[in-house]
Amino acid sequence: MTKTQVEKEALEAKFAKIESRVETYNSKINSLVQDNEGLQLENSTKLDISPDGTIASKLTKKQMRATLTKVDSYKLSQARTLKDSMILAIEYSLNRVIDTSSLNEDEDIALNINDTVVMISISDKMFFKSGSYKANNILQKLADVINSEPSIDVMVEGYTDSRTINTAKVEDNWDLSVLRATSVVRKLQNDFSVSPEKLIASGRSSYQPLTDNESKESRSKNRRTRIILLPNIDKFFALMAAD
C-alpha cells in the first residue's frame, strides 16, 4: 500500500468520525428543540383558573385577545372578568357566521360559558319556524367544531312554556321537550354528519323557565333549545375564531 493510499484512508476515517460527531450533535440539538417546543406547547395549552372561576389556557387567552381587538369598544369596556371577555369574543365569532341584523338580542340566541362548557340557547322560532335557515348556519358551524375534535360531546336540551299539551303523539310537555331536542339531534346527525355517539338528547319540560308564562312574548322566550358543548374549549374557540 502506498503512502498516499494510507494517508487517504486515514483522512477518510477522520472525516467519518467527524461526520458521526456532527450527526450526534445535530441529533441532540433536534431533541432539545423538540423538547423545548413540547414544553412551549404544554405551557400554552395548560389550563389556568381565573379568580372568577373561568378555566382557560394561555393559547385560548391569546386567541381571545386577538379577537377582542375587533369587538366594539363600548361592549369591551363593560367586560369585568375573563368570563365576560371570553363570552364577548365567542359572541363576535358566532356573529360572523350568522345574520345578526334580524335577530332579537337576548331572545333569539344567548351564549353562556360555565368553566369549560359552552352553552348556546336558541329560540324555538329559529329552529321550527321560517327563520330556521339561521339556525342551520349556527348548526353547521357547531358541527364543524364537533366533528373536528373527538373529545367534544354534545347535549341538546329542549324546553317548553307552561301551557299543557296532550295529543295522540305528544302526551305532555316532557314529551314535547324531548321531541324538540331529538329533532335537533337528528339534524346534527343527518344534515351535518355529526357522529351519533357524541350526541345526547334530553328534555326539561317547562320547569326551568327564563321568565313568567303570563304573555305570548314571555312564553316565546321559554320555548327554546339549548346546545351544550362539553370540552374542549380551546378547540371550540380556535375554530370559532378562525378566519
Percent of residues, the chain, with pLDDT higher than 90: 23
Given the candidates 3.40.1160.10, 3.40.50.150, 3.30.465.10, 3.30.1330.60, the CATH classification of the domain at 96-241 is 3.30.1330.60
- Which tens digits make up the pLDDT trace of 33-85? 555 555 444 454 455 555 555 555 676 677 778 878 888 888 888 888 877 77
Alpha carbon distance 230, 92 (integer Å):
20
pLDDT for residue 196: 94
Distance of CA 126 to CAs 50, 139, 208, 237, Å?
A: 34, 11, 20, 23
Which stretches of the chain score pLDDT less than 70?
Answer: 1-12, 14-19, 21-22, 24-57, 59-60, 93-107, 113-116, 128-133, 231-243
CA distance 116 to 189: 24
Question: What pTM was computed for the model?
Answer: 0.60
Ordered alpha helix ranges (H), the chain: 3-45, 58-68, 73-78, 82-95, 124-128, 132-148, 173-190, 216-222, 233-241
**CA-CA distance, 90 to 64, in Å (whole number)?**
8
